[in-house]
């Protein structure tokens, strides 16, 4: 809770930036370019209103709200946290939409878990920079222009996209993918396929090995023992034969990894399109202790959404994960409070299914033995996003949070998880004492 208080205090004591004046005209072209990229409007409020909103949010988030329900489902995860396997990191996978893909919220969770239980490294990352809006704070990926991204919502995928549901494909020699990261163990995950091409693997510009991707269809893994310190790992295609990359794993021998697997605009049902023959071996190999499912915002605005299909889809997704990794705990996270969607510069209410989405998630989690965190309730309930926006914690689309807002949400969830973890430790200690 101390970190959460610091985030809010820093915002409360911040000096508001002055409005743009004529002095900004010295670089008109640059300003226009920035303006073109910024899709979310800035909500201007008075310092007094911002301070009042921040104090209200701070008061609400500084005390337990009970938004985490069904915490008993997390006992297997808590067991692994309290008794980590020797010479193995413990893995948390967070699947979700744009709230996850930006990595602001997940990175706060990552930092908190790693500060308490040890830094296991970044874990699984998508290859290169596969789509606009994808980000990892603990590593840096890039790729040349000749790669084709599959798995994002604007492109029909064949479902052969690996653990994160996103892949890069190239069929021209000389295309590159790079990852700059610090870790003790490195893995390259790719598609093994008949006629698959070769890639040259280099470390800090020095060629190390040629990796072939030819073979029977299925996921392939190349392992490399990393030397201490940060390095740039690079792949270069060597021919016109197809090469398809799923991602990297960069991890340490101990500690926690918190792995961001978000896709902008995604709905949970996207997971059902991923091929089991690829996803299940990838999940089994990753062996997560906890799977976080953070969807709901895009479902709440969908014109084709129905409660019956949504409920059935969520159950099928949970069954799919349980089949592949039965020992993993599952935490479902509801969408944040949302109020407006922008169309033609005008704001209008556009989340007609939000109440039902949250209700169904809660019911499905309870029925399938998953934990559930009601993000909307943690924010303050319906309509609370207005106060978050006024406090500088929410963006002007009244849907996404700012970096500080996501960090606040991450700290709130971590505090609730740790409260239940401490309760678990106490109950277990009491049981051992009474034996």
Query: Which of 349, 426, 342, 428 has the alpha carbon at shortest distance from 383?
Result: 349
The answer to whether 99 and 262 have CB atoms below 8 angstroms apart is yes
What local confidence, expressed as pLDDT, does residue 11 receive? 53
What local confidence, expressed as pLDDT, does residue 225 receive? 97
pLDDT digits (tens, 9 = 90+) for 309-338: 999 999 999 999 999 999 999 999 999 999
Structural domain 43-120+253-435, CATH architecture: 3-Layer(aba) Sandwich (3.40)
Enter the DSSP assignment of 87: T
Classified as helix, coil or strand, 104 is helix
Other beta carbons less than 10 A from residue 151's beta carbon: 26
The vertex-142 CA angle with 154 and 396, nearest 5°, equals 55
C-alpha dist (Å) from residue 161 to 154, 200, 217, 245, 273: 15, 21, 13, 8, 10
Q: For the chain, how big is the Rg over CA atoms in Å? A: 22
- Report d(CA 152, CA 175) in Å as an integer: 21
What are the structural domain ranges in the chain? 43-120+253-435, 139-251
- Report d(CA 55, CA 267) in Å as an integer: 34
What local confidence, expressed as pLDDT, does residue 18 receive? 34
pTM comes to: 0.90
End-to-end Cα separation, the chain, in angstroms: 34
Query: 227-251 b/e with 16+ CB inside 10 Å = b?
Result: eeeebebbbbbbeebbbbbbbbbbb
Over the chain (435 residues), the average pLDDT of each successive run of 10 is 54 42 35 43 82 88 80 97 92 98 97 98 98 95 97 93 98 98 98 98 98 98 97 98 98 97 97 97 98 97 95 98 98 92 58 95 98 96 93 93 96 95 92 64
Adjacent-strand bridge partners of 191 = 219
C-alpha dist (Å) from residue 60 to 19, 54, 379, 381, 426: 30, 10, 8, 11, 27
Burial class of residue 23, CB neighbours in 10 A (0-12, 13-18, 19+): exposed
What local confidence, expressed as pLDDT, does residue 341 receive? 55
Query: Which of 85, 121, 125, 115 has the alpha carbon at shortest distance from 226?
Result: 121
Classified as helix, coil or strand, 328 is coil
Strands (E), 282-378: 290-294, 329-333, 340-343, 346-349, 371-373
The answer to whether 394 and 401 have CB atoms below 8 angstroms apart is yes
What local confidence, expressed as pLDDT, does residue 280 receive? 97
Residues 6 or more apart whose CB falls under 8 angstroms from that of 430 comprise none
The vertex-87 CA angle with 85 and 92, nearest 5°, equals 60
Pairing status of strand 185-192 against strand 243-251: antiparallel
What local confidence, expressed as pLDDT, does residue 65 receive? 66
- Report d(CA 230, CA 327) in Å as an integer: 33
What local confidence, expressed as pLDDT, does residue 29 receive? 38
- Report d(CA 325, CA 287) in Å as an integer: 7
Query: Which of 60, 67, 25 has the alpha carbon at shortest distance from 374?
Result: 67
What local confidence, expressed as pLDDT, does residue 41 receive? 59
Helix (H) or strand (E) holding 309: helix 307-324
Classified as helix, coil or strand, 25 is helix
What local confidence, expressed as pLDDT, does residue 22 receive? 33
CATH superfamily, domain 139-251, is Galactose-binding domain-like (2.60.120.260)
Adjacent-strand bridge partners of 348 = 341
């Amino acid at each position: 809770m101390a970190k959460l208080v610091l985030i809010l205090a820093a915002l409360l004591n911040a000096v508001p930036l002055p409005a743009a004046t004529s002095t900004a005209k010295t670089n008109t072209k640059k300003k226009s370019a920035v303006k073109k990229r910024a899709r979310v409007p800035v909500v201007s409020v008075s310092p007094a209103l911002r301070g009042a909103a921040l104090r209200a949010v701070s008061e609400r988030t500084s005390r337990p709200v009970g938004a985490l329900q069904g915490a008993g489902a997390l006992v297997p995860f808590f067991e692994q946290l309290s008794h980590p396997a020797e010479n193995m990191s413990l893995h948390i996978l967070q699947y979700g939409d744009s709230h996850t893909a930006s990595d602001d919220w997940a990175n706060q969770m990552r930092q908190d878990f790693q500060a308490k239980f040890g830094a296991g490294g970044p874990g699984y990352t998508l290859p290169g920079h596969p789509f606009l809006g994808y980000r990892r704070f603990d590593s840096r990926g890039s790729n040349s222009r000749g790669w084709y991204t599959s798995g994002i919502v604007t492109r029909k995928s064949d479902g052969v996209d690996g653990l994160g549901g996103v892949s890069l494909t190239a069929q021209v020699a000389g295309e590159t993918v790079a990852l700059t990261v610090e870790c003790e163990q490195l893995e390259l995950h790719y598609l093994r396929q008949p006629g698959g091409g070769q890639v040259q693997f280099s470390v800090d510009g020095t060629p190390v090995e040629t990796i072939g991707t030819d073979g029977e269809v299925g996921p392939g893994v190349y392992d490399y023992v990393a030397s201490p310190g940060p390095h740039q790992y690079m792949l270069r295609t060597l021919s016109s034969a197809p090469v398809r990359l799923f991602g990297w794993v960069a991890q340490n021998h101990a500690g926690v990894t918190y792995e961001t697997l978000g896709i902008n605009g995604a709905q949970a049902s996207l997971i059902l399109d991923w091929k089991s023959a690829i996803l299940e071996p990838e999940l089994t190999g990753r062996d997560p202790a906890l799977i976080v499912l953070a969807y709901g915002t895009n479902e709440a605005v969908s014109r084709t959404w129905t409660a019956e299909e949504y409920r059935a889809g969520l159950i099928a997704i949970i069954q799919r994960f349980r089949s592949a990794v039965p020992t993993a705990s599952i935490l479902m996270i509801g969408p944040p409070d949302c109020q407006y969607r922008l169309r033609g510069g005008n704001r209008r209410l556009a989340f007609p299914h939000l109440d039902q989405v949250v209700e169904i998630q809660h019911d499905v989690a309870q029925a399938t033995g998953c934990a559930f965190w009601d993000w909307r309730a943690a924010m303050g309930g319906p309509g609370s996003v207005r106060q978050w926006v006024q406090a500088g914690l929410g963006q002007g689309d009244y849907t996404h949070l700012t970096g500080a807002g996501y960090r606040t949400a991450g700290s709130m969830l971590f505090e609730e998880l740790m409260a239940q973890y401490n309760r678990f430790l106490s109950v277990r200690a009491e049981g051992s004492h009474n034996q």
